[in-house]
Structure 1
Amino acid sequence: MPEEVNKFYMNEYLQILPQCEKDNVLSLREYQLRKRALLARALVRTTIARYQKSSRVDPKLLKFKKNVHGKPEVEWQHAGDFDQLQLHFNISHTTSLIACGITMNSPIGIDVEEKQRVIKNNILSFARRFFCPHEVEHLASICDPEDQRQEFIKLWTLKESYKLLSSYKNADFKASEILVKPVDHTSNLFARDFRFALLELAGTHYAAICVEKDNTLEEKEGSPMNLKVWKTIPLVEDECMSGTSSVLSVDGLINQLSI
């Protein structure tokens, strides 16, 4: 998305930000950082503005507050709006893509990574620093260097999505909390408390989504997450990409995950 936005729309995005957010964006010295920060704020505001029961709200009028964990959430202004406790959002970005995840009822963590992300360190050495032995063993079993790199990025992306959700809930996170292969399937908290999705986007990025299960709803074990994926340029274009070749589900690794 960032590469497709010209200066005209950048100016339009500035107009939907309150003065304090404008000041924060314009205080960044590097142009690319300013652009990314502005796009992220515009994407969050224009996306969340759709979540009013009766009609869309003006993105500029949205107000945010910090919850008890210090994380931002929407402060709805009218009784007719969705209850702020029902809507959750999270944002992640790379140099070439920004992702905003929205859920109702369940907190969400989302992370996006470029498939061509450069890993300067030796993958296994790097994995030994942050991953548990089971994950290192899994990576070490992959002979092809490129396949190993891709599997590392997928696993890292999944871990980050859970880390962001844990951060939202002010929970402690350790890299070893997500395993590729659980030692004891009887203590599989993943199946009980969390759901994951791993997507390949346009052949260029991986996107991992982690949500806490809604215990008030009956869900069949292993049922897929109900996702809709949109390609969005704020104020310009919204195109549903779900069900197209641009959004592919990557299931193999998720089926082995445990927390």
Structure 2
Amino acid sequence: MSPLRGGPRPPLSPPSRVDGPGGPWARLLHVLDTSGVGLVYTSLADWRPQLPPEEERRFLLGRDWARYSRLTGEQLRDRFLATRLLIRCTAAVALGTEAGSLELSYGLNGRVHLRGHDQIDVSLSHTGDLLLCGITSLGVIGVDAEPRERRLSGRDVETLMCTAPERLRLAATADEERNGVLLSLWTLKEAYSKALGQGLRFPFTEFGFRTEGGRGPAGEAGPPTAETILLERSDGTPVADDTWRFATFDLPSGHLAALALQDTRRSDQPDTRAGTALNRQILAAIGVLDH
């Protein structure tokens, strides 16, 4: 699922669409095998007819059943179930196992994990009908998505979420482009905060993003590329940490998706299937492999 340590870093691929638990998953599997990080998106409308009946959900949700039970309204319950199924199905592709065999757990900050599978990291975002899931074996990942039509410009958002250098670049941006630039910044900051496990607890004015050589949050001309989106401090000085990679993607659904990836190559093994990882853990435990 991930390239070997020290190898070249393939470009970050745009999300692929899946129509339900049955996929299609082939593109995700290919992207994971070649780059170690993948994104999928779907719509709640597509997944709702394929969700299991109510009498099967308690067993399926496991520890999530209590949280599910507290939700009111069919829409909220179906979205919660669909997002948990999306995470499990996505992880099952990476691990080479069945989605039903996976169990979700949560850290103190509410960040979701796959119990017993520390070789991968997952992140989830949903807005309206859109569901987005990211997965990687390289380190930690954060994803976010927003409707392209969401209005941020003209609502003092710049003061609440932008650093001083970002506000200067926004002031030089054409009026008709400013909302798109702000939306890119918002999704990138959300994704980065999720990757750190901080969410909205990390003030967005404490860090910023800029681009070099492509159109991105700074609004320059040309298509956005992951390699040109750079993290900077609140004063505009660059953060000298090349483990972080960022990208934004326009989805056919009319949404903007953002990805934050800290590529620390947590796994030296290209094969992170559940059976392989388990076998290595057993061998390490009996001293055949170094810990």
Question: Fold-level match, TM-score > 0.5?
Answer: yes
Cα distance, 1:138–1:187 mapped onto 2, change above 3 Å: closer
How far 1:24 sits from its partner (Å)? 2.5
How far 1:9 sits from its partner (Å)? 3.0
How far 1:118 sits from its partner (Å)? 3.4
**Correspondence for 2:9:** none
| Counterpart contact for 1:10–1:38, Cα < 8 Å | no
Which shifted more, 1-10 or 194-203?
A: 1-10
Residue type matched to 1:4 in 2? D
Which of 37, 45, 49 aligns to 2:88? It is: 45
Secondary structure in 1 aligned to 2:93?
A: coil
**Correspondence for 1:151:** 181
| Counterpart contact for 2:145–2:257, Cα < 8 Å | yes
CA deviations on 1:152-210 (whole Å, 9 max, x unpaired) are: 101111111111112269x9554331243769999632652310011111161111111
Unaligned runs of 5+ in 1: 77-83, 218-259
**Correspondence for 1:107:** 140
Number of aligned residue pairs: give it: 203
TM-score by length of structure 1 reads 0.66
Secondary structure in 1 aligned to 2:94?
A: coil
Cα distance, 1:168–1:108 mapped onto 2, change above 3 Å: farther
Which runs of structure 2 are paired with 1:130-169 in the superposition (5 Å)?
A: 130-145=161-176, 147-167=177-197
| Counterpart contact for 2:206–2:233, Cα < 8 Å | no
Which of 83, 96, 116 aligns to 2:129? It is: 96
Residue type matched to 2:167 in 1? V
Residue type matched to 1:177 in 2? F
How far 1:116 sits from its partner (Å)? 0.9
TM-score by length of structure 2 reads 0.60
Which runs of structure 2 are paired with 1:85-234 in the superposition (5 Å)?
A: 85-119=118-152, 122-123=154-155, 125-145=156-176, 147-167=177-197, 174-180=204-210, 188-189=238-239, 192-202=242-252, 204-214=254-264
**Correspondence for 2:102:** 62
Separation (CA, whole Å) in 2 of partners of 1:183 and 1:168: 17
Q: CA RMSD in A?
A: 3.3
**Correspondence for 1:27:** 70
**Correspondence for 1:73:** 113
Residue type matched to 1:197 in 2? A
Residue type matched to 2:77 in 1? R
Identity fraction in percent? 23
Higher relative contact order, structure no. (Cα contacts within 8 Å, ≥ 6 residues apart) = 2
Separation (CA, whole Å) in 2 of partners of 1:93 and 1:32: 13
Cα distance, 1:194–1:9 mapped onto 2, change above 3 Å: same
How far 1:27 sits from its partner (Å)? 2.7
Residue type matched to 1:208 in 2? A
How far 1:150 sits from its partner (Å)? 1.0
